[in-house]
Amino acid sequence: MHILHIISSPRANSYSARLGRQIVEKLLAAHPGSSVHERDLSHHPLPHLEEVFVQGIFTPAEARTPSQQAAVQHSDEVIDEVLAADVLVIGSPMYNFSISSSLKAWLDHVVRAGVTFKYGPNGPQGLLTGKKVYLALASGGVYSGGSPMAAYDFMAPYLKPVLGFIGLTDVEVVRVEGTSIPDLEPMALSKAVDSVAV
Ligand SMILES: Cc1cc2nc3c(=O)[nH]c(=O)nc-3n(C[C@H](O)[C@H](O)[C@H](O)COP(=O)(O)O)c2cc1C
Protein backbone atom coordinates (compact mmCIF):
# COMPACT_ATOMS: atom_id res chain seq x y z
CA MET A 1 0.00 0.00 0.00
CA HIS A 2 1.26 3.50 -0.80
CA ILE A 3 0.30 6.38 1.50
CA LEU A 4 0.41 10.07 0.56
CA HIS A 5 0.57 12.42 3.58
CA ILE A 6 -0.24 16.05 2.85
CA ILE A 7 0.80 18.64 5.46
CA SER A 8 -0.53 22.18 5.20
CA SER A 9 0.24 23.77 8.56
CA PRO A 10 3.34 25.98 8.82
CA ARG A 11 3.75 25.23 12.54
CA ALA A 12 6.52 22.93 13.78
CA ASN A 13 4.26 21.61 16.54
CA SER A 14 1.18 21.41 14.33
CA TYR A 15 -1.71 19.33 15.61
CA SER A 16 -2.96 18.50 12.11
CA ALA A 17 0.52 17.32 11.06
CA ARG A 18 0.93 15.28 14.25
CA LEU A 19 -2.54 13.77 13.85
CA GLY A 20 -1.73 12.96 10.22
CA ARG A 21 1.52 11.27 11.23
CA GLN A 22 -0.28 9.22 13.88
CA ILE A 23 -2.83 8.07 11.30
CA VAL A 24 0.07 7.14 9.00
CA GLU A 25 1.64 5.16 11.88
CA LYS A 26 -1.62 3.27 12.40
CA LEU A 27 -1.82 2.50 8.68
CA LEU A 28 1.79 1.27 8.65
CA ALA A 29 1.10 -0.98 11.64
CA ALA A 30 -1.99 -2.41 9.94
CA HIS A 31 -0.27 -2.79 6.56
CA PRO A 32 3.39 -3.63 7.13
CA GLY A 33 5.66 -2.89 4.20
CA SER A 34 3.60 0.09 3.04
CA SER A 35 5.42 3.16 1.73
CA VAL A 36 4.82 6.81 2.62
CA HIS A 37 5.38 9.99 0.66
CA GLU A 38 5.08 13.26 2.60
CA ARG A 39 4.29 16.53 0.80
CA ASP A 40 4.69 19.63 2.94
CA LEU A 41 2.67 22.35 1.23
CA SER A 42 3.56 25.00 3.76
CA HIS A 43 7.33 24.75 3.49
CA HIS A 44 7.24 23.95 -0.25
CA PRO A 45 4.18 25.91 -1.43
CA LEU A 46 2.67 25.51 -4.85
CA PRO A 47 2.20 28.76 -6.79
CA HIS A 48 -1.17 30.47 -6.96
CA LEU A 49 -2.78 29.90 -10.32
CA GLU A 50 -1.68 32.39 -12.97
CA GLU A 51 -2.86 33.05 -16.51
CA VAL A 52 -0.01 31.00 -17.98
CA PHE A 53 -1.23 27.95 -16.03
CA VAL A 54 -4.85 28.38 -17.13
CA GLN A 55 -3.73 28.78 -20.76
CA GLY A 56 -1.46 25.77 -20.35
CA ILE A 57 -4.09 23.33 -19.10
CA PHE A 58 -6.37 24.20 -22.02
CA THR A 59 -3.56 23.73 -24.58
CA PRO A 60 -2.64 20.23 -25.79
CA ALA A 61 0.58 19.09 -24.08
CA GLU A 62 2.55 18.98 -27.35
CA ALA A 63 1.56 22.58 -28.23
CA ARG A 64 2.39 24.21 -24.88
CA THR A 65 4.98 26.98 -24.72
CA PRO A 66 7.94 26.33 -22.36
CA SER A 67 6.42 28.66 -19.74
CA GLN A 68 3.01 26.98 -20.01
CA GLN A 69 4.71 23.60 -19.73
CA ALA A 70 6.60 24.74 -16.61
CA ALA A 71 3.38 26.04 -15.02
CA VAL A 72 1.44 22.84 -15.75
CA GLN A 73 4.34 20.71 -14.49
CA HIS A 74 3.44 21.51 -10.85
CA SER A 75 -0.06 20.20 -11.44
CA ASP A 76 1.16 17.06 -13.24
CA GLU A 77 3.50 16.34 -10.33
CA VAL A 78 0.89 16.58 -7.56
CA ILE A 79 -1.69 14.65 -9.60
CA ASP A 80 0.87 11.88 -10.19
CA GLU A 81 1.41 11.70 -6.42
CA VAL A 82 -2.33 11.25 -5.85
CA LEU A 83 -2.59 8.68 -8.65
CA ALA A 84 0.24 6.66 -7.07
CA ALA A 85 -1.43 6.60 -3.64
CA ASP A 86 -3.88 4.04 -2.30
CA VAL A 87 -4.53 6.14 0.82
CA LEU A 88 -4.32 9.91 1.33
CA VAL A 89 -3.92 11.52 4.74
CA ILE A 90 -4.64 15.24 4.38
CA GLY A 91 -3.77 17.53 7.29
CA SER A 92 -5.46 20.90 7.50
CA PRO A 93 -5.39 23.64 10.14
CA MET A 94 -8.54 25.74 10.35
CA TYR A 95 -7.78 29.30 9.30
CA ASN A 96 -10.63 31.77 9.44
CA PHE A 97 -13.15 28.94 9.41
CA SER A 98 -11.71 27.33 6.30
CA ILE A 99 -8.57 25.61 4.95
CA SER A 100 -5.12 27.15 4.61
CA SER A 101 -4.24 28.86 1.34
CA SER A 102 -1.46 26.31 0.76
CA LEU A 103 -4.00 23.47 0.77
CA LYS A 104 -6.31 25.49 -1.48
CA ALA A 105 -3.43 25.94 -3.95
CA TRP A 106 -2.87 22.15 -3.90
CA LEU A 107 -6.56 21.56 -4.69
CA ASP A 108 -6.38 24.13 -7.49
CA HIS A 109 -3.56 22.09 -9.04
CA VAL A 110 -5.21 18.70 -8.47
CA VAL A 111 -8.79 19.41 -9.60
CA ARG A 112 -8.21 19.50 -13.36
CA ALA A 113 -10.74 19.01 -16.15
CA GLY A 114 -9.97 16.05 -18.38
CA VAL A 115 -7.36 14.73 -15.94
CA THR A 116 -8.93 14.23 -12.51
CA PHE A 117 -12.55 14.79 -13.55
CA LYS A 118 -14.45 14.90 -16.81
CA TYR A 119 -17.92 15.75 -18.02
CA GLY A 120 -19.82 12.74 -19.38
CA PRO A 121 -23.42 12.07 -20.41
CA ASN A 122 -24.41 11.93 -16.73
CA GLY A 123 -22.60 15.12 -15.74
CA PRO A 124 -19.25 15.45 -13.96
CA GLN A 125 -17.34 12.25 -13.23
CA GLY A 126 -14.43 12.00 -10.79
CA LEU A 127 -11.46 10.02 -12.09
CA LEU A 128 -9.47 9.43 -8.88
CA THR A 129 -11.51 6.47 -7.71
CA GLY A 130 -10.71 3.56 -5.40
CA LYS A 131 -8.71 5.50 -2.82
CA LYS A 132 -9.29 6.10 0.88
CA VAL A 133 -8.88 9.57 2.39
CA TYR A 134 -8.37 10.56 6.03
CA LEU A 135 -8.82 14.25 6.79
CA ALA A 136 -6.74 15.29 9.82
CA LEU A 137 -8.39 18.58 10.76
CA ALA A 138 -7.18 20.86 13.58
CA SER A 139 -9.11 23.79 15.00
CA GLY A 140 -8.77 26.10 17.97
CA GLY A 141 -12.50 25.85 18.64
CA VAL A 142 -15.02 23.01 18.59
CA TYR A 143 -17.31 22.51 15.59
CA SER A 144 -18.60 18.93 15.92
CA GLY A 145 -20.92 17.16 18.36
CA GLY A 146 -23.82 19.59 18.00
CA SER A 147 -21.66 22.66 18.61
CA PRO A 148 -23.38 26.00 17.86
CA MET A 149 -20.19 26.82 15.92
CA ALA A 150 -20.94 24.07 13.34
CA ALA A 151 -22.34 26.63 10.90
CA TYR A 152 -18.90 28.31 10.82
CA ASP A 153 -17.10 25.14 9.73
CA PHE A 154 -16.13 25.58 6.07
CA MET A 155 -13.31 23.07 6.30
CA ALA A 156 -14.95 19.60 6.24
CA PRO A 157 -18.06 20.85 4.37
CA TYR A 158 -15.72 22.17 1.65
CA LEU A 159 -13.13 19.39 1.52
CA LYS A 160 -15.57 16.48 1.33
CA PRO A 161 -17.50 17.67 -1.75
CA VAL A 162 -14.45 18.95 -3.65
CA LEU A 163 -12.60 15.66 -3.06
CA GLY A 164 -15.74 13.74 -4.00
CA PHE A 165 -15.94 15.72 -7.24
CA ILE A 166 -12.62 14.19 -8.37
CA GLY A 167 -13.64 10.68 -7.28
CA LEU A 168 -12.26 10.67 -3.72
CA THR A 169 -15.55 9.70 -2.11
CA ASP A 170 -14.33 7.44 0.70
CA VAL A 171 -13.44 10.20 3.17
CA GLU A 172 -13.08 9.84 6.95
CA VAL A 173 -13.02 13.08 8.92
CA VAL A 174 -10.83 13.09 12.06
CA ARG A 175 -10.81 16.24 14.16
CA VAL A 176 -8.40 17.52 16.76
CA GLU A 177 -10.58 20.23 18.23
CA GLY A 178 -10.27 22.85 20.92
CA THR A 179 -6.51 23.37 20.55
CA SER A 180 -7.03 26.97 21.76
CA ILE A 181 -9.22 25.97 24.70
CA PRO A 182 -7.11 25.29 27.82
CA ASP A 183 -9.55 22.70 29.25
CA LEU A 184 -9.66 20.71 26.00
CA GLU A 185 -6.15 21.12 24.57
CA PRO A 186 -4.30 18.55 26.74
CA MET A 187 -6.43 15.60 25.56
CA ALA A 188 -7.40 16.91 22.12
CA LEU A 189 -4.76 15.07 20.10
CA SER A 190 -4.98 11.70 21.87
CA LYS A 191 -8.79 11.81 21.70
CA ALA A 192 -8.58 12.35 17.93
CA VAL A 193 -5.99 9.60 17.44
CA ASP A 194 -8.06 7.13 19.49
CA SER A 195 -11.09 7.81 17.29
CA VAL A 196 -9.31 6.54 14.15
CA ALA A 197 -9.87 2.94 13.12
CA VAL A 198 -7.79 1.87 10.10
C1 LIG B 1 -4.39 32.77 11.21
C2 LIG B 1 -5.16 31.82 12.08
C3 LIG B 1 -6.52 31.72 11.92
C4 LIG B 1 -7.25 30.84 12.71
N5 LIG B 1 -8.59 30.75 12.54
C6 LIG B 1 -9.31 29.90 13.31
C7 LIG B 1 -10.72 29.77 13.15
O8 LIG B 1 -11.33 30.39 12.31
N9 LIG B 1 -11.36 28.91 13.95
C10 LIG B 1 -10.74 28.15 14.90
O11 LIG B 1 -11.39 27.37 15.59
N12 LIG B 1 -9.40 28.24 15.08
C13 LIG B 1 -8.68 29.10 14.30
N14 LIG B 1 -7.32 29.21 14.49
C15 LIG B 1 -6.65 28.28 15.43
C16 LIG B 1 -6.11 27.06 14.69
O17 LIG B 1 -7.11 26.42 13.95
C18 LIG B 1 -5.48 26.09 15.68
O19 LIG B 1 -4.36 26.71 16.27
C20 LIG B 1 -5.08 24.79 15.01
O21 LIG B 1 -4.50 23.96 15.99
C22 LIG B 1 -4.09 25.04 13.87
O23 LIG B 1 -3.69 23.82 13.28
P24 LIG B 1 -2.20 23.29 13.45
O25 LIG B 1 -2.01 23.00 14.91
O26 LIG B 1 -2.15 22.07 12.61
O27 LIG B 1 -1.27 24.36 12.96
C28 LIG B 1 -6.58 30.06 13.69
C29 LIG B 1 -5.20 30.17 13.84
C30 LIG B 1 -4.50 31.03 13.05
C31 LIG B 1 -3.00 31.13 13.22
Q: What is the pLDDT of residues 78-113, one digit of tens each?
A: 999 999 999 999 999 999 999 999 999 999 999 999
Q: Whose CA is nearest to atom 1 of ligand 1?
A: 95
Q: What is the pLDDT of residues 165-184, one digit of tens each?
A: 999 999 999 999 999 999 99
Which atom of ligand 1 lies nearest, measured to the CA of 97?
A: 8
Ligand 1 in reach of 152 Cβ (< 6 A): no
DSSP per-residue codes, the chain: -EEEEEE----TT-HHHHHHHHHHHHHHHHSTT-EEEEEETTTSPPPPP-HHHHHHHTS-GGG--HHHHHHHHHHHHHHHHHHH-SEEEEEEE-BTTB--HHHHHHHHHH--BTTTEEEETTEEEE---S-EEEEEEEESS--STT-GGGGG--SHHHHHHHHHHTT--EEEEEEEE-TT-TTTHHHHHHHHHHT---
- Indicate the domain borders of the chain: 2-194
Ligand 1 in reach of 188 Cβ (< 6 A): no
Ligand 1 centroid – CA 9 distance (Å): 9
Ligand 1 in reach of 14 Cβ (< 6 A): yes
- What would the CATH number be for the domain defined by 2-194? 3.40.50.360
